[in-house]
Structure 1
Amino acid sequence: MREKDTLMRPARFSKALTAGLAVGALALTACGAGGDDATNGGDSGAEGGTEAGTGSASDANVNIGMFAVPANLDYTTTGGAAVFEALLYNVYEGLVRLDADGEVQPLLAESWEISDDGTEYTFQLQEGVTFHDGTEFNADIVKFSLERLDEWSANTPEMLSAVESVEVVDDHEVTVMLSEPDYDALFWLAGPLGTMFAPDSVDDLATEANGTGPFEFVTYENAVRMELARNDDYWGEAAGVAGVELTYFEDASAAANAIRTGGVDAILRSEAFDQFESFEAEEDIEVHVGSSQGVVVMSMNQEHEALAEPEVRRAIHTAIDKEAVLAAATAGYGEILGGPSVPTDPYFTDFSGTYEYDPAAAEEMLASAGAEDVSLTFNVPNRSYAEASAQVIQDNLEDVGIEVDLQTQEFPAVWVEENMVNQDFDLAIINHVEPRNMANYANPDYYWGYDSAQAQDLFDQAAAATDDDEYVSTMEELTEVIVEDSPGAWLYNPPNVGLTTEGISGLPLNDLGVGIDLSDVTVSE
């Protein structure tokens, strides 16, 4: 048996994913590349602030502005990262978790061993852990929770499709059996798919949240606010504040005004890019720029006759001025991409120069492909970054003779249904915030319809890798294949920007695409 393995495992690449299931990996907000620190600084912010920002650290409450709105509380059946980013690591927990650097660390499992053939994961469980309703956490809970993945209909449960069975050794030891070696099993167990549930609670997941975490769920007013209270019986280190209120905003300007006027103590994933310079000049508000998993991509539906031609897709990619897109969408914050991975991926290669902006070359490529009088419908979610990006792209494509009809759609309700479910689009843009989102290019049924036998074979080889070097080299080769095929135009990796007022510290700096851990947040006078 190997020693405890804390290697960050990448996503499982399953050909069985469906477009409907994959909806859950999306969120409303833009987020991207940035700093290295695990949490924000402790000297941030505004004097006074809200009632949340008063009192000692032990009895204080904190009010945090958010944008991605949970439709309900059940992320086993409800798409949207907004659900699990609020609840995972705060209310719910799993066997393992990702730390601030994206490394897998113990949580409800205090240690684990992996068999030499990579098909058996034996976990030693924490003792003395109970759910908020008093239910004991033990090996039977692990078996129940992981075997229940077959009932999930959102957030890509097939990423853990290699889990074949779960064997209870005793109350505090459990072995997870895989049907085949899976390089990324621990990584996915550290996310929402690894959530432990009390059996008596699963019928009420949409309205109640009963976990083992440092906070208890109090209430959720749809699209308005969610309240969490410190779990005084938590098995681990107590949360730094007595309560957290998550306040949901429709737009970045309203949230920016709220932090300036004391309506909130902090904002996560701020999109007020045009105001960051002024925020940085203010003494009572601090700006924190961190990293994320986000890839803003414009997908091209190959069901359209013109887009079925790779040369046309490459021409469209070449026609886009990504510098102008970034300036319009984020005021220049973020990192331009040319491929489907982000700088924090271990296999990242900089493809930003592969499809450099060159309208003349794009016109030649279109002519060579025989593409004349091309007319495309561009479905755009009503999010500021997407609308700004789409307007630039529309101008770029019309400059090379492609007519583009922008269709703004409500997100998530209309955009998700029309694009990810019905696949009714020519061009579509969204920020994919899920980690290792390249996994979706292994699935021909995913909404962008990319179907490459070569890519799928390389995905399978990467999943079966037995060491880091083999995995990385295979993924690099795979990325080259996808970039050459150009099923989409990968635009940029947005920054994860947080704003805090005076005395607020401990907010996560980096967006890892899992839960937003609020247990380290503190408030000082």
Structure 2
Amino acid sequence: MDKTLKAFGLALALTTALAGAAMAQPTEVRIGVALEPPALDPTAGAAEAIDIVVYQNVFEGLTRIDQNGAVQPGLADSWTISEDGLTYTFKLHDGVTFHDGTSFDAEDVKFTFDRILSADSVNAHREFYEPITSITVIDPLTIELKLDRQIGRFLFDLGRGDAVIVAPESADNNANEPIGTGPFAFVQWDKGSRVVLEAYSPYWGEPVHLTKASYVFISDTSTMTNALLAGDIDGTNNFATEALAVFEGNPQFNVLVGTTEGETILSTNNKRAPFDNLKVRQAMAHALDRQAIIDGATNGYGVPIGAPFAPHNPYYVDLTGTYPYDPEAAKALLAEAGYPDGFSATLKLPPVGYATTSGQIIASQFAAIGIKLQLINVQWAQWLEDVYANKDFDLTIISHVEPFDIGNYANPDYYFGYDNPEFQALITTLNGTTDEAKRKELAIEAQTILANDAVNGYLFELAQTGVWNAKLTGMWQNSPIEGLVLRDIAWTE
């Protein structure tokens, strides 16, 4: 062959190879998220930001919750429930390993729940699992959990991030180097920048489409917008609604608008004066113009709520009319409570757009009835310490994203300090009821008590507004549980 032709052939082959490589399907996804998690162990922290990264990705539970909110098998292949509803026997998948190569079996399940129930447990929702009275290893692939009472949502609770299975060999280090059984293994955490996960090739379940996923921490909306437009990230699960217009109608992006379990509330310290006075709380409820808050903070995407329950839940009842917007009624109630000239208070705001914007609007609405609010912006770690842990606050704004978390109001030590024995007894009855019609009746009664007591200012249900590269599929449109699940995400042609 002529040397020139040979050289041309080699060049053509190289060009073809390079073109093929350039056209190859990407296998990595880079996801922008607003908040950096304080740690990476969902069994030892309450922050949603933890589950966004690791839930169903790094860690798995006996059951898992799908994008419709239904319970599916997880590490448990199947289960049986005794006739009295008190004994659950789980058959576990065989051949499962943790990411460090150690094997998974029933002893790991026992260790996990013993750890949750221990006296020194730091699990954010230990109360969900307190009804467990015994944990028995029948054989390496069979575990039995006995309860002291029926729990209507027990299988759902086993699918929460709080109950993912951890190993005794690695549990103590999961906050910084999480090791689970999920389809993705932890690789690195560049503090202040990103967390990187890679597909775990020995994964026991269906193989995933991605080889790598990076969660990039971007708290600023403008920076997130620029990162999406520049292709520095491939999507985000919850984008600021005020900037969605940039991407709507752009064929390079897919805007997914769905529902969440995020009840956004003006959370109130019920144990601190003057908020321990019902008339003061009622006055604040009358001062809230929900629609103005929704329009300003969510650009109309939020759904008004009158109690801490998601409108898409079958147990939901519309209680937004309990304390309609009425500034004159609010002033009268403040006078009856002994505050004819109002009072001053602080409003601590975490670093999320819906909170900071809502805070400014509410400050204006409260000023109209004489309540003067000092807005204090805090970082997420400070919010968790000051507000959630130490209860050092007057008011705050936050979305509670846990599903069916109305039971938090039955805990007088929970950060907003509501202590109502009647309500506590009602939740105990609800938790022990399996009949769906009766559960709905009790749930409506519980919502009504909280609305009447104006425990918090109930504002709106947060929408999930994702912006994704149009070539990506498999993202959850709705968010029935905390997490950003990667298992079905894939690139298309």
The TM-score normalised by the length of structure 1 is 0.86
**SS state of the match for residue 143, structure 1?**
helix
For 2:15, the equivalent position in structure 1 comes to none
CA contact (8 A) 1:125 1:173 kept: yes
Distance 1:55 1:65 in 2: 24
Q: Does 1:413 align with 2:413?
A: no
1:429 and 1:356 mapped to 2: Cα distance?
20
How far the C-alpha of 1:374 sits from its partner, in A, is 2.7
Q: Do the aligned partners of residues 288 and 360 (structure 1) sit closer, same or farther apart at CA in structure 2, a change above 3 Å counting?
A: same
In the TM superposition, what whole-angstrom CA distance separates every residue of 1:479-519 from its partner, at most 9, and x where no partner exists? 11111001111101111111111311111222223332101
Native 8 Å contact 1:306 1:374 kept in 2: no
After superposition, the CA RMSD in angstroms is 1.8
Q: In 2 relative to 1, CA 377–224 (structure 1 residues): closer, same or farther, beyond 3 Å? A: same
User: What's 1:100 paired with?
Assistant: 67
Change (3 A) 1:131 1:305: closer
Distance (Å, rounded) in 2 between the aligned partners of 1:139 and 1:121: 14
Residue equivalent to 1:144: 111
Instruction: For 1:64-463, list aligned pairs within 5 A.
Output: 64-149=31-116, 150=118, 151-271=120-240, 273-375=241-343, 376-408=345-377, 410-463=378-431
- Give 2:456's aligned residue: 488
The separation in 1 between residues aligned to 2:396 and 2:307, in whole angstroms, is 17
For residue 347 of structure 1, report the CA deviation from its aligned partner.
1.4
Structure 2 counterpart of 1:390, one-letter code? G
1:427 Cα deviation after fit: 1.9
Q: Residue type of the partner of 1:252?
A: T
- Pair 1:485–1:287, CA change in 2 (3 A): same
Pick which of 200-209 and 325-334 moved more.
200-209
Rounded to whole Å, the distance in 2 between the matches of 1:465 and 1:443 is: 19
Given the superposition, is the C-alpha separation of residues 246 and 159 from structure 1 closer, same or farther in structure 2, using an over 3 Å criterion? same
Alpha-carbon offset, residue 98 of structure 1: 0.5
How has the CA–CA distance of structure 1 residues 84 and 383 changed in structure 2, closer, same or farther, with 3 Å as cutoff?
closer
What amino acid maps onto 1:386 in structure 2? A
Matched pairs, number: 470
- Range that drifts further, 246-255 or 456-465: 246-255
Q: Is the 8 A contact 2:209 2:488 kept in 1?
A: yes
Map Cα deviations across residues 120-170 of structure 1 (whole Å, 9 max, x no partner): 101111112122222222212211111111253142222211112211112
Question: Helix, strand or coil for the counterpart of 1:293?
Answer: strand
Hey, what's the Cα distance between the residues in 2 that align with 1:219 and 1:305?
Answer: 46
- Unaligned 5+ runs, structure 2: 1-20
Structure 1 stretches of 4+ with a deviation exceeding 6 A read none
- Higher relative contact order by CA 8 Å / sep ≥ 6: 1 or 2? 1
Structure 1 counterpart of 2:5: none
**Which AA in structure 1 matches 2:269?**
N
Does the aligned pair in 2 maintain the 1:76–1:152 contact within 8 Å?
Answer: no
Is contact 1:147–1:165 with CA below 8 Å preserved after alignment? no
Distance 1:132 1:397, change over 3 A: same
TM-aligned CA deviation for residue 56 of structure 1: 4.5
CA contact (8 A) 2:305 2:311 kept: no
Cα distance in 1 for partners of 2:346, 2:215 equals 36
Greater C-alpha Rg: 2
Contact residue 57 and residue 485 of structure 2 kept, 8 A: yes
Which amino acid in the other structure matches residue 129 of structure 1?
V
- Cα distance in structure 1, aligned partners of 2:351 and 2:161: 27
Check 1:56–1:146 CA distance in 2 against 1; reply closer, same or farther (3 A cut). Answer: farther
Aligned partner of residue 443 in structure 2, secondary structure: helix
Report SS of the residue matched to 1:423: coil
After superposition, give the CA deviation of every residue in 1:413-462 in whole Å (9 maximum; x if it has no partner): 22222222222222222111222221211011111111111111100110
Name 1:12's counterpart in structure 2: none
Task: Return 5+ residue gaps in structure 1 as ranges.
Answer: 1-52
> When the two structures are superposed, what TM-score results if normalisation uses the length of structure 2?
0.91
Opposite residue 438 of structure 2, the aligned amino acid is: E
Task: Answer yes or no: is the 8 Å Cα contact 1:226–1:245 preserved in 2.
Answer: yes
CA deviations over 1:248-280 (Å, ceiling 9, x no partner): 102222111111111111111112x11212311
Contact 1:191–1:515 (Cα < 8 Å) also in 2: no
| Worse overlay, 283-292 or 364-373 | 364-373
2:42–2:162 contact (8 Å) kept in structure 1: no
C-alpha contact (below 8 Å) 2:322/2:452 kept by paired residues: no
